[in-house]
Amino acid sequence: MPLPAPRGELSAAVVDVLRGRRGLLPPVGDADPHGEDLTLALHLLYELHYRGFDGVDEELEWDPDLLRLRAELERPFLGALRDEVGTAGVADVVDDLLVERVPGSGVPHFLRERGQWWHFRELFVHRSIYHLKEADPHAWVIPRLRGRAKAAVVAVEFDEFGGGHAERMHSRLFADLLEAADLSSGYLHYLDVVPAPALATVNLMSLFGLHRSLRGALVGHFAATEITTGPSARRMVSALRKLSAPEACVRFYSEHIEADAVHEQVLRHEVIGGLLEDEPHLAADVAFGLLAAESLEERLAQCLLAAWEADTPSLRETENVLV
């Protein structure tokens, strides 16, 4: 993956350091915590802990200056989310996730009722930023848990990583989906064209995963992901079959219907239950992780639907992207 084009002063400074042109890193100041510049800068810094970028020194993963900048970028992002989602009890949040707030709304509903093939392909591009590394961010929580919670997370992750079969890994299934849709399955291939709301959903789990102090929030995020995926995947399968989409596209979502129905119960009772049995003081963090995941997913959905309702692309640029 080559480095993407900067989207402002912060991301430009990060790109410069990653290219070996070290200078003074700018202050974060009053940068928009949900804006393109801060979001991309954070994403670049987090990616150093995954697969990195072509030609970038791997030692920069632990560069003190970049770590300090990352901490400065994380503060407004995390603070904005805490202000936006408020507080709630874990059980109440989980129950709310199982109920549609506005029946018949949301991206899967739009795609099932009015979706054209270009809408689906745009969605695949947005989701490629996460699904080509699916389950990796949540794996960071494993050494930070114990007992029931750890065993249950490992069981769920085992399924996410294909049960020991590389061709069944969910990241591989999504690569197959992209190829069947005549899109690139290259890791972060579409980073330049995906807007901040999609990048932020991945930043959130990276943020939670890289901080032991946020292990409860990461468990909450993991639970939110598994609880909401099953119903959404069912609608996506219906929408894709309506368009006679390639079977590899259908398979990715159909795989999640049955698996995540089981995972939901494991996450609720064994992971969250086991964690709070061991560390009851983390209940507020678990609830925050659930709420923050839902909040950023809703922000992304609004971005997509606003564009599609206006019959315009939701990507930052589309020339030569979807052809």
Q: What is the pLDDT of residues 272-296, one digit of tens each?
A: 999 999 999 999 999 999 999 999 9
Angstrom distance (rounded) from CA 65 to CA 69: 6
Structure tokens at 34: 């949900």
Give CATH superfamily name and number for 87-309: Heme oxygenase-like (1.20.910.10)
Q: What is the pLDDT of residues 54-113, one digit of tens each?
A: 999 999 999 999 999 999 999 999 999 999 998 777 877 776 765 555 555 689 999 999
DSSP state of 266: I
Angstrom distance (rounded) from CA 26 to CA 36: 16
Q: What is the pLDDT of residues 169-206, one digit of tens each?
A: 999 999 999 999 999 999 999 999 999 999 999 999 99
Is residue 238 predicted with pLDDT exceeding 80? yes
**In sequence order, what DSSP letters do the residues of 187-243 get, joined into one string?**
TTTTTTTS-HHHHHHHHHHHHHHT-GGGHHHHHHHHHHHHHHHHHHHHHHHHHHHHT
Q: Beta-carbon neighbour count of residue 113 at 10 Å? A: 11
Q: Which residue is listed with tokens 């064209």? A: 193
**In sequence order, what DSSP letters do the residues of 284-301 get, joined into one string?**
HHHHHHHHHHHHHHHHHH
DSSP state of 35: S
What are the residue boundaries of the structural domains of the chain, listed by start? Answer: 9-82, 87-309
**In sequence order, what DSSP letters do the residues of 70-82 get, joined into one string?**
HHHHHHHHHHHHH
> 19, 41, 87, 28: which is closest to 191 by C-alpha?
41
C-alpha separations of 297 from 144, 153, 269 in Å: 26, 22, 24
What size, in residues, is the chain?
323
Report the chain's C-alpha Rg in angstroms. Answer: 19
The confidence score (pLDDT) of residue 107 equals 95
| Burial status of residue 34 (CB atoms within 10 A of its CB: 0-12, 13-18, 19 or more) | middle
Check the CA dihedral 70-73-76-82 and report its sign: negative
Q: Phi, psi (5° rounding) for residue 137? A: -60, -35
Task: Specify the range with the lowest mean pLDDT, choosing from 100-114, 119-133, 214-228.
Answer: 100-114
The confidence score (pLDDT) of residue 55 equals 94
The confidence score (pLDDT) of residue 323 equals 55
The answer to whether the CB of 155 falls within 8 A of the CB of 267 is no
Q: What is the pLDDT of residues 25-68, one digit of tens each?
A: 889 999 999 999 999 999 999 999 999 999 999 999 999 999 99
Q: At what angle do helices 117-131 and 247-265 cross, to 10 degrees?
A: 50
The confidence score (pLDDT) of residue 93 equals 75
> 230, 284, 282: which is closest to 92 by C-alpha?
284
Q: Which residue is listed with tokens 């922000």? A: 299
The answer to whether the CB of 263 falls within 8 A of the CB of 193 is no
Across the chain, what does the average pLDDT equal?
92
Angstrom distance (rounded) from CA 173 to CA 284: 34
Structure tokens at 259: 């698996």
